[in-house]
C-alpha cells in the first residue's frame, strides 16, 4: 500500500501525469517534510531514485542522520536538517538551508502531521485543536508561501500536500485530525488557481491507513481497526 501511494503521488502530481523514469527529475530539488520514516521517507526515496536532489527533515537530528545514511546508501543525492514545521524559525531554516546548499527549490511534499487526541470530539481541548491545526494545516500553507518565490525563479514547480482518506470520511475517534485533513483539501483547491499563474502545480494525495509508525495506534489494535473498517465502502 505504501508503495502504491508513492507511485500515485509521483505519477499524478510531480510528473504531471507521466510515470517518471530514473532520470526524469535530474537537476530538480525536492523538499519532503517529516521524511525520516513512513510515507515521507518513501516519497523521498522515489524522488531521489528519479534523479532529484532531496532534502529530508524531522524534529530529531538522530532520525535525520539515519534517513540521510539510508538514502545515500541507495546513491541518492540527499541532505537533511531538523525542522519542526509548526515553528516559524524552523520553516525558514529549512527553506534557506535548501536554497543555500542546493541552489533552489522545485518540489515540496508537505507531509508532516500530528494526531494528538483519540476520543469523542466534544471532549477535545483548545490546546489539541491549536497544535493539530498549526502543524497539519497552517504549516502546509506557510511552507508553500515560502517556496513559491523560489519555484517562480526556476520557471515553476510542484507542491504536493498529503491529506488522508480521513479528509473525506472522518475516522471514528480522530475528529480533530480528520477535520485538519479535510481542511487540506480546501487549501489545495484555494492554492492551485493562484499558483497556476506562476506555473506551480498544487495537488493533494489522500492515503488510507498504511502500516507506518504514525498510524500504529490504529492498525495494531484489533478493536479500533474493526471500528474503522465499518466505515470503509470496500470490505
> Are 36 and 61 spatial neighbours (Cβ–Cβ below 8 Å)?
no
Does residue 127 fall inside a structural domain?
A: yes
Does residue 75 fall inside a structural domain?
A: yes
Question: Of the residues 177, 191, 202, 228, which is catalytic?
Answer: 177
Does residue 124 fall inside a structural domain?
A: yes
Beta strand 200-205 pairing with 29-32: unpaired
Q: For residue 127, how far is the Cα from the chain centroid?
A: 23
CATH number of the structural domain spanning residue 127: 3.40.50.720
Q: What is the pLDDT of residues 131-150, one digit of tens each?
A: 999 999 999 999 999 999 99
> Are 152 and 7 spatial neighbours (Cβ–Cβ below 8 Å)?
no
Whether the pLDDT of residue 216 is over 60: the answer is no
Residue 16, burial from CB neighbour count under 10 angstroms (0-12, 13-18, 19+): exposed
The whole model's pTM is what? 0.83
Does residue 235 fall inside a structural domain?
A: no
Does residue 234 fall inside a structural domain?
A: no
- Number of structural domains in the chain: 1
Q: Which domain holds residue 193?
A: 2-229
Whether the pLDDT of residue 184 is over 80: the answer is yes
Q: What's the CA gap between 55 and 94, in Å, rounded? A: 9
| Predicted pLDDT at 36 | 93
User: Is 177 annotated in the active site?
Assistant: yes
Does residue 193 fall inside a structural domain?
A: yes
Does residue 103 fall inside a structural domain?
A: yes
Closest CA to 43 of 102, 138, 110: 110
Amino acid at each position: 500500500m505504501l508503495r502504491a501511494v508513492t507511485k500515485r503521488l509521483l505519477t499524478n502530481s510531480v510528473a504531471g501525469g507521466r510515470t517518471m523514469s530514473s532520470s526524469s527529475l535530474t537537476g530538480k530539488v525536492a523538499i519532503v517534510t517529516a521524511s525520516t520514516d513512513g510515507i515521507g521517507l518513501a516519497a523521498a526515496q522515489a524522488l531521489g531514485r528519479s534523479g532529484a536532489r532531496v532534502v529530508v527533515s524531522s524534529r530529531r537530528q538522530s532520525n535525520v542522520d539515519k534517513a540521510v545514511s539510508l538514502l545515500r546508501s541507495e546513491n541518492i543525492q540527499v541532505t537533511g536538517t531538523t525542522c519542526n514545521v509548526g515553528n516559524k524559525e524552523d520553516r525558514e531554516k529549512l527553506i534557506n538551508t535548501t536554497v543555500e546548499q542546493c541552489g533552489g527549490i522545485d518540489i515540496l511534499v508537505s507531509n508532516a502531521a500530528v494526531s494528538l487526541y483519540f476520543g469523542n470530539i466534544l471532549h477535545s481541548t483548545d490546546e489539541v485543536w491549536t497544535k493539530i491545526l498549526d502543524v497539519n494545516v497552517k504549516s502546509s500553507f506557510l511552507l508553500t508561501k515560502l517556496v513559491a518565490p523560489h519555484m517562480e525563479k526556476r520557471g515553476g514547480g510542484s507542491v504536493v500536500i498529503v491529506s488522508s482518506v480521513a479528509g473525506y470520511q472522518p475516522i471514528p475517534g480522530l475528529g480533530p485530525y480528520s477535520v485538519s485533513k479535510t481542511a487540506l483539501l480546501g487549501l489545495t483547491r484555494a492554492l492551485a488557481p493562484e499558483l497556476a499563474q506562476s506555473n506551480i502545480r498544487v495537488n493533494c494525495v489522500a492515503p488510507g491507513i498504511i502500516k507506518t509508525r504514525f498510524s500504529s495506534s490504529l492498525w495494531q489494535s484489533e478493536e479500533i481497526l474493526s471500528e474503522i473498517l465499518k466505515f470503509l465502502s470496500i470490505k
